[in-house]
Amino acid sequence: MRTVFFLIFLIPGVLFSGLLYNSFVSPIPEQWSEESNINFNGVVFKVTPWISIGNWETNFVTKYVWGWGTPTNPGEKVFYISTEIPPLIDIIFNYNSNGFSLFLDISVQREYFTRVKEYSTNLLSAELFDLSKYSFDMNFPELAYIYYANDNFFVSVGRFPIKWGVAHYPVTISDTTYQDNITFSIKFEDMRYTFHFISSYPLLSNEELYIQKNYYDGHTPERYFFEPCKSIIAHRFDFKLGNFRWGIGELNVVGGKYPDLIDFNPITIFHNTYGEGFSNVVASLDFDYEVSDSVFLYGEFSLDDYQVPFTEGGSDYKPTAYAYNFGFKYSLKNFSFWGEYTFSSEWMYITNYLPYLRINVRHFYMDNKTSPQRALVDYPLGFKYGPDATMVSLGFQTDIFDTKISFEYNFLLKGTVVDGDVERWKWFWDSWPGNVDKKEDIPEPEIPYKGKDILYNIVTFSVKYHSVVLYTKVVNERYLIGISFGF
C-alpha cells in the first residue's frame, strides 16, 4: 500500500485582503470581521511542491459518456481529493483601496483528473525535459473576485465558495465548491439581508438534452424549456436576538430559460412566482445559539417538497424531500470539540426530472492527458454527499505549544442505485420522474432502482507546527498520510 505526502512552500508574513468564512452567511468582507488583516497590495508567488505515495482511489464515476462533456461525480470513490491537492504555484494579485478589493489567484497545477490519477507529485511532469508528458490546467482561476464594502453594505462579483449557516456540512448552500456569482448583503441593527445570483455551467450531455427537450412539467402541458441556461437565485434574512440568531431563506433554480426580473427579484417570495416547468424552489431555516462562553448549538432545515392532502402531492407529482443538520461546539481557551448529525432524504435535491432543475452546480473541466478529457463535474449545491445520505461527525481542534492539531471523524451511510451492471451512489442524474409528461412517441422516463446503502468511515487528522504539517486521511481501506514544509 502507498502513503501520501504533502510538501508545501509558503510565504511567511504576507497577509492578503479577502473574503472570510467565519459568519452565519459566508463569505463576508474583512471590514465586517475582527480578523481583518488588510496590509498588502501587490503580486505574490507561492510555491508548493509536494510528493506522495498511497493507495487512494483514482477512478471517477461517470454517466452518459460523451466526447464533448461527460457528467462526472467528484465525490464517489475519490472523495473530492482533486481539490485537496495543492497547486505547484499560485500567482496571487491582491489590491485594496477605499473599500474596494481585488483578488485573483492563478494556480499553476496539473489538470483536474491527472492530478488525481498521478498524485505522486504535483510537478507538471515527472519527466522534466519531455514536453509531451506535461499536464497544465487551463481551468483557472477558481478563486477570483472584486468587491466593495463599508460598515453596512457589501457587494461582490467573482468566483468563490458560498456557505449558509454555521454547520460543518450545510444542507442548503455549502462551500463544497466555488460558485460563479454576484453577492450583495446589507446589515441593519439586528438583521442582515443577503442575495446571491449563481450560474451553473449549462452544457448537457446528449441524453440529458433529449430529456430537457422532449419532456415537460405536468402542470404546463407541452411547454418545453431548453434554452442553454441554469441559474440559482438565493436570498435570506437573518435576525439576531441576544445570543440567539435565526435565518430564513429561499433558493430558486431557474433552468431551460433565461431568468427575468420575476425570477431574480431580490425581495419577492420565489415560491409564489409559480415558475412551473422552468423553476424549482427550496426553503431553508437555520439557527445558532450561544448558550455560554463554552457551549454553542446550531441547526438547519431545508425543504424541497412536502406531500399534503389536496395538493399536487396526492398525484405523486413530487415526493417529500428534505434535509437537515444539528450540532454543537464546546470550547475552552485553546481547545474545541464539536459534533454534528446530517441527513438528506432519498429525493432531496432531485425532485424534478428535467436536468436543468436539479439542485446542484455543474463545472466544466478539460484534461488533455487522461479521460474524461472534457468533463461536466456535478457538484452538490447543498450537502456534500448529495441525496439519500446520513452522516454523524465528531471533531476537535487544539493549539498547544505552537502546535495546531485537528481531528475529524465521519460515519457516512450513503444510498446507491443499480444502473445497469453498475451499483453507484445516488446522484443528481437519478431524479424523480413523476413530475413530467411526454408526447405519445417518447419513451417513459426511467431511473435506476434503489440499491443497498454503503457505510464509510472517514478520518481526517492534521498536526501543524510552525511551517511543518502532518496530514492523514482515511476512507475505509483507502488512506493518505502526508507531511508538508512551508517557507
Q: Using one digit for the tens of pLDDT, what is the confidence trace for 290-335?
A: 999 999 999 999 999 887 655 544 457 889 999 999 999 999 989 9
CA distance linking residue 62 with residue 204, whole number of Å: 14
- Give me the domains of the chain, ranges plus CATH numbers: 19-485 (2.40.160)
* pLDDT band (50, 70, 90) for residue 480: confident
Question: What grid cell was written down for 132?
Answer: 509531451
Is 39 a residue whose pLDDT tops 70?
Answer: no
Write the pLDDT tens digit of every residue in 187-210: 999 999 999 999 999 999 999 999
Does residue 424 sit in helix, strand or coil?
strand
Place of cell 445516488: 426
* Bridge-based pairing state of the strands 143-149 and 360-366: unpaired
Q: Which are the contacts of 186, defined by CB distance < 8 A and separation ≥ 6?
A: 152, 153, 154, 192, 193
**Average pLDDT for residues 254-265, to the nearest whole number?**
93
**Grid cell digits, residue 115:** 492530478
Which tens digits make up the pLDDT trace of 117-176? 988 888 888 777 777 788 899 999 999 999 999 999 999 999 999 999 999 999 999 999
Specify which of 32-36, 118-122, 125-129, 239-243 reaches the highest per-range mean pLDDT.
239-243
When pLDDT is averaged across residues 56-67 and rounded to a whole number, the result is 92
Q: Using CA atoms, how far apart are residues 222 and 214, in angstroms rounded to an integer?
A: 9
- Residues of the chain with pLDDT > 70, as a percent, come to 93
pLDDT band at 270 (very low <50, low <70, confident <90, very high): confident
Query: For residue 202, what are the CA distances in angstroms to 153, 209, 248, 357, 429?
Result: 31, 10, 28, 11, 15
Q: How far apart are CA 415 and CA 451, in angstroms?
A: 7
- pLDDT higher than threshold 60 for residue 257: yes
pLDDT category at 14 given cuts 50, 70, 90 is very low
First to last CA, the chain: 30
For residues 388 and 39, which has the higher predicted lDDT (pLDDT)? 388
Q: What is the pLDDT of residue 120?
A: 84
The per-residue pLDDT for 125 is 83
Lowest mean pLDDT among 67-76, 81-90, 298-307: 81-90
DSSP state of 174: -
Cell of 422: 453498475
pLDDT value for 484: 75
Find the range with the poorest average confidence among 26-35, 170-179, 345-354, 429-438.
Answer: 26-35
Torsion angles phi and psi, residue 164, rounded to 5 = -105, 135
Single out the residue of 17, 54, 50, 48 nearest to residue 35, CA to CA.
Answer: 17
Do residues 13 and 39 make contact, with C-beta atoms less than 8 angstroms apart?
no
Task: Using pLDDT thresholds of 50, 70 and 90, give the confidence band for residue 17.
Answer: low
Neighbours of 126 (CB within 10 A): 12
Residue 11, pLDDT > 50, answer no
Band of the pLDDT at 103, cuts 50, 70, 90?
A: very high
Average pLDDT, the chain: 90
Mean pLDDT along residues 448-465? 94
Measure the CA–CA gap between 11 and 252, rounded to whole angstroms: 41
Least confident of 5-19, 25-39, 83-97, 315-329: 5-19
Does residue 3 surpass a pLDDT of 50?
no
pLDDT tens digits for 348-379? 999 999 999 999 999 999 998 888 899 999 99
CA distances from 210 to 75, 216, 317, 420, 438 (A): 26, 11, 21, 20, 12
CA dist 132 and 124 (Å) reads 11
